[in-house]
Amino acid sequence: FYVSIKKAIDEIRAHPECYHAALEQLKIYVTECIDKYGDDYQYSTDPRLLKIWILY
């Protein structure tokens, strides 16, 4: 998920005309990642997950 989130953020920065589509895709990726890994103790210390929580 992290790579997909990074690609969506890069898409928003690179192509402002596609902002709304990329933002919707970013919301989907972030929500799916939080749903899957948010409560998992194994990932609780992963700094990438913290960044995703901040985006959420």
pLDDT in tens, 14-49: 888 888 888 898 999 999 999 998 888 888 888 988
Residue 35 confidence (pLDDT): 92
State the Cα–Cα distance between residues 11 and 40, nearest whole angstrom: 29
Residue 38 confidence (pLDDT): 87
Q: Evaluate if residue 1 carries a pLDDT over 80.
A: no
SS (HEC) of 29-46: HHHHHHHHHCCCHHHCCC
What is the reported pTM?
A: 0.79
Decide if 56 contacts 34 (C-beta within 8 A).
yes
State the Cα–Cα distance between residues 11 and 19, nearest whole angstrom: 8
Residue 16 confidence (pLDDT): 81
Question: From residue 38, how far is each of 10, 21, 47, 53 by CA, in Å?
Answer: 23, 25, 12, 8
